[in-house]
Amino acid sequence: MIRSIPAAILATLITAATGHAEGRVSYTADAGDAGQMKMTERWTGSALRTDIEGMDAYMLMRNGTIYSIISMAGQITVMDLGKFKDMSGAGAAQAPSHDQTGVVFPEKIREMRRLGESREIAGIEGEVHEIEWVDNSGQVQTDTAVLTDNSRLLEHQSQKMSLIESASGEAPNTLLVELDKRGLAALSFGDRFLVTAVGDDPGPAGDFELPAEPVDFGGVMNMSNQ
């Protein structure tokens, strides 16, 4: 269970600073086998926190390190995901496979067309686009997306890309890279992603501090080998 929670979050996430030092974005996203997840991401400076509705767990990026914080039976466990992957061995050291979690994501963007319409989502105006893309199984798909140059959403996108790179050691998916190049961010993408709220309040400063010391995986391994 502990491993499945970070896997679902990372898979969901893989679906230029702009002047805002902090903010929050809530959205729903397709998490493959885990279904639709309702998530809120808050950031202040370079710290980013990801909460999933209905889960006693969240992820926190601080100084380029990704932590998973899980509460079970009133006990809080903090894991440095980088060290967790190292401990898991070569086969498990990679970030969770998207195929394993059932997430469909873009491998290639074939075309992005403006449809000449605008739409408001979460109080933000965006332009409607049709995006033709090739998914990770080689299938060509077409989705309607609402894209915006809203500065807070651009900063959120930049933070999310940093999270993906820090967690997996790989570049974000092609769609995020393409949107970033164009100075755009998604308000919606088909039925796979929808922004539900955008704000400027990241919440209490303590929400970006570790609630406990990370698990000493070296000590755990030594105990298991005795």
Helix (H) or strand (E) holding 52: strand 47-52
In contact, 50 and 58? CB cutoff 8 Å: yes
133-152: average pLDDT: 94
Where is pLDDT greater, at 96 or 134?
134
Q: How many Cβ atoms from other residues are within 10 Å of residue 137's Cβ?
A: 9
**pLDDT tens for each residue of 19-34:** 447 999 999 998 877 7
- Is residue 87 a contact partner of residue 100, using CB atoms and an 8 Å limit? no
Taking residues 1-24, what's their average pLDDT? 50
Q: Which of 31-40, 52-61, 90-99, 139-148 has the lowest mean pLDDT?
A: 90-99
Give the model's confidence band at 166: pLDDT under 50 very low, under 70 low, under 90 confident, else very high: confident
Query: At a CB cut-off of 8 Å and minimum separation 6, what does 3 contact?
Result: none
Q: Which of 87-91, 183-187, 189-193, 200-204 has the lowest mean pLDDT?
A: 87-91
Distance CA 26, CA 29 (A): 10
Q: What is the mean pLDDT of the chain?
A: 82
SS3 assignment, position 219: helix
pTM equals 0.79
Q: Are strands 47-52 and 57-62 parallel, antiparallel or unpaired?
A: antiparallel
What H or E segment, with its residue span, contains residue 166?
helix 151-168
What is the C-alpha separation between 21 and 43, in angstroms, rounded?
A: 8
